[in-house]
Structure 1
């Protein structure tokens, strides 16, 4: 398996240090973000590309365009700006997340957004990585529904899925779609008392032997089904972000996962 690093795994590291840490851990694929930390809003894309080249890492995605399935207001302009940035910094794809505030979004509206976004992505040679969010309040919870929308939009050549082990577990989805999967996000939940319905991003830590999300069975099943892309660490818990030795913590999690597989 190929490990990758999402910058949220060590958000207090500067961009050059984050890239260097990834390489030191044996990962040559990284994800940059537009929230925590906001690399897109604070770095010139040409400088990001130069730093990636120095470190010898590939930027697999920018995370994330939100809410991609509400194609209104400033979203079209933000989508074009992010796609321009991705092309300029050398990123291969944009992660696209659906509205997640309890407001339903009609299927046809999601399809329309995918059609509109397809032109933006195709003209810049980018892939759209659609990431269903498994929260009960999410407007697009399952990968099966995302695939149905992509097919309705004629987007088979443009879009892939993000299989997020946290969201897969929350959604209760059992089917895997390895041929549709372009990226896997991995994180664990170890809090013993929180119910699945109440799990939040703040509960997401690095994967270890206390994990409740069945990361290892998910990873094993994806590999056995033919997925050969990166597995990117994406923990959101404050205790991970505040770790005194983020590199050491990531190294330990990588070693645990690798040993179990």
Structure 2
């Protein structure tokens, strides 16, 4: 099996996208845009019929302070990784266990991370400039995602370490290599464990088809900064259909968003 095919399969498995024998293309505008996802395949029906979909707008009137929530407990370490053009976003995949997120006594293992630009989640109606998703999965197959929002400003130090590799990935992608990927060698995931004194917790879904529900979301309250050049680098390897790869916010349908604050 070639490495390209391997990473295509790995990408699909981790995001739970390969749910049917026939691959279905989806996009972010036009005939395959987000409002059409639910009709593209029977396995995508949750995208239109689900009642706990993501992303959402983190509006003050829908947020409740929850004293039962605990600080995010994350344990990451270094591991070999690859920078991957998933087709619909740019991500980092790991070839071994790199640590976990612990929620209510359960361990969710970090599987991969990827970026969206602009952001998918909003804050009081405001869209941010980018969003990082750290995707975790437990042994039963349930997902937990940590979201990090970015606004334009100084360069993000983690992405700064990837800038030359992102340029390489764009060149490989422009050459027509499906599932283009660049070896990163040892990637220190501990840099992703920067503390945030607040986070927002709700139950939602994956934000790409098949829009699988029962995903535990934790959106960090601290907004990070990202430079304009870094956003360009994250978009460059993608085709025009996916350069703006943010799903619109979804109805809460009665859900509440719970807030943790270290200040109590």
Q: Same fold (TM over 0.5)?
A: no
TM-score by length of 2: 0.26
Return the structure number with greater helix share: 1
Answer 1 or 2: higher relative contact order, Cα 8 Å, separation at least 6. 2
Return the structure number with greater strand share: 2
